[in-house]
Amino acid sequence: MSLTKVAVIKRGPIEWDQDKLTPSELKNRITSLKALARSKDLAGVLVYGNALKSGNLCYFTNYSCHIAWRDGFLILPVEGDPLLLLEVPARDVPYIQRVTPVEVQACRNLGQNSLDLLKQKGMSVGNLGLAGWNDVPYTILSLLRQGLTAVKWIDITGEVSSWRRVKTEREQLLLQRSSCLATACMSDILEKAVPGISLRALEAGADYLARKQGCEDIQLLMAVDGNEPGPVSDYILKDGDSLRIILSTQILRYWSSMCRTVVVGNSKSAQETSILAAMEQEAALIKALSPVNFQKENLSMLAARVQGKIGLGGGIGLELEEGPDLAGDDFKPLPGMAVSLRVSMETGGCKVLHGDTILLTTGQPVVLTDIVPS
């Protein structure tokens, strides 16, 4: 199950806080991308982004594609200035230009306009790098291949994605801010989850609180008893209901995510035992994720016990799910990496979900979305 495919609540405003993400940091990222291009003998690089996979594009431009049909390319010649080409109405350009130092150009046909620009910029022969290869629509990729027969395309998604895995100190501060917002919204839901309240009312309260604190996007999935978490319904909570919640918030482009299970009303004994067991399993997983003396077999053993249909989790940052997958064979914890952890258990007929956003350090991992049980 991909959490990024369910946007439950409408997105909020996008801003650029230049004290928290400086223009010089974005410039340095583009300089590094040019250096990568030169090392691979590339004439230039294209970085693709869309609403579901905007992390690579956002990393270099600070622009996140929030609407499904408004995707775009960063076009970067080795010799020359970058250009952000977006399939958006021209009237949106002044607004978008406020959040990125890269020149923005609107277009109606991303494939054809990209092809024309590549020819104009002298990027129609030789090698071209492409980040986001698997995300580019087939029609666009086919058009570029057919129109640029003298170009050899090089997939550089792996290199670019690896740069994003370890967060800088500034990025870690943004993750902490997003996590504080998620924690506040989750606390609000847990406090108000009483018999007689509807899931819609809980959603509305979280939405109001998130917007009040400058949230750009919030995704809220809920489930009662044995159902899988999904978009919020009109269901009214009853005494004894087991409510499982997945809450994710985005602020200044950075995501955090957390999961909780709460038992509604007074019928709590058996379910609360299961919740405590899930919390213990999460604590063991957090310890196993420490980059110090990391052993993959320990993580795999724990994951086998608690990995549900929604997965164990993975990297988080500019995307809600940006990899690597915690249960994947290639996962290796690094100091500065942020991960979203999800523990799913079923004991005594009770399904429990518990998880947090974790920051890996040179010592023990730090839980960013921490709520002390009442």
Q: Residues 262-286: what's their mean pLDDT? A: 83
In a domain, 353, yes or no: yes
Residue entry with tokens 């196993």 = 288
In a domain, 150, yes or no: yes
Q: Which domain holds residue 313?
A: 169-367
In a domain, 197, yes or no: yes
Window from 120-129, 233-242, 246-255, 308-317 with minimum mean pLDDT: 308-317
Q: Are residues 209 and 118 in the same domain?
A: no
Q: Are residues 144 and 220 in the same domain?
A: no
Q: Which residue has the higher pLDDT, 139 or 277?
A: 139
Q: Which of 149, 164, 179 is the last residue of a domain?
A: 164
pLDDT band at residue 374, thresholds of 50, 70 and 90? very low
Q: Which of 164, 184, 215 is the last residue of a domain?
A: 164
- Structural domains in the chain (count): 2
In a domain, 19, yes or no: yes
Residue pair 361/367 in contact (Cβ under 8 Å)? The answer is no
Q: Are residues 285 and 136 in the same domain?
A: no
Instruction: Report how far residue 362's alpha carbon sits from residue 308's, in angstroms, rounded to the nearest whole number.
Output: 29
Q: Are residues 226 and 344 in the same domain?
A: yes
Dihedral pair phi/psi, residue 351, rounded to 5°: -90, 130
Instruction: Report how far residue 374's alpha carbon sits from residue 372's, in angstroms, rounded to the nearest whole number.
Output: 6
In a domain, 372, yes or no: no
pLDDT of residue 165: 93
Q: Are residues 154 and 210 in the same domain?
A: no
In a domain, 373, yes or no: no
Average pLDDT along the chain: 89
Q: Which residue has the higher pLDDT, 53 or 1?
A: 53
297-332 pLDDT, tens digit per residue, is: 888 888 877 766 777 889 999 999 988 888 887 888
pLDDT of residue 3: 44
What's the CATH code of the domain at 224? Answer: 3.90.230.10
In a domain, 126, yes or no: yes
Q: Which of 164, 194, 212 is the last residue of a domain?
A: 164
Query: In this structure, what token pair is assigned to residue 16?
Result: 């650029």
Angle at 197 (CA atoms; ends 193, 200), nearest 5 degrees: 95
What's the CATH code of the domain at 71? Answer: 3.40.350.10
Assess whether pLDDT exceeds 50 at residue 7: no
Q: Are residues 214 and 324 in the same domain?
A: yes
Query: In this structure, what token pair is assigned to residue 372?
Result: 């002390």
41-93 pLDDT, tens digit per residue, is: 999 999 999 988 999 999 999 998 876 678 999 999 999 999 999 999 999 99
Q: Are residues 146 and 250 in the same domain?
A: no
Q: Are residues 290 and 262 in the same domain?
A: yes
Q: Are residues 173 and 160 in the same domain?
A: no
In a domain, 321, yes or no: yes
pLDDT of residue 312: 81
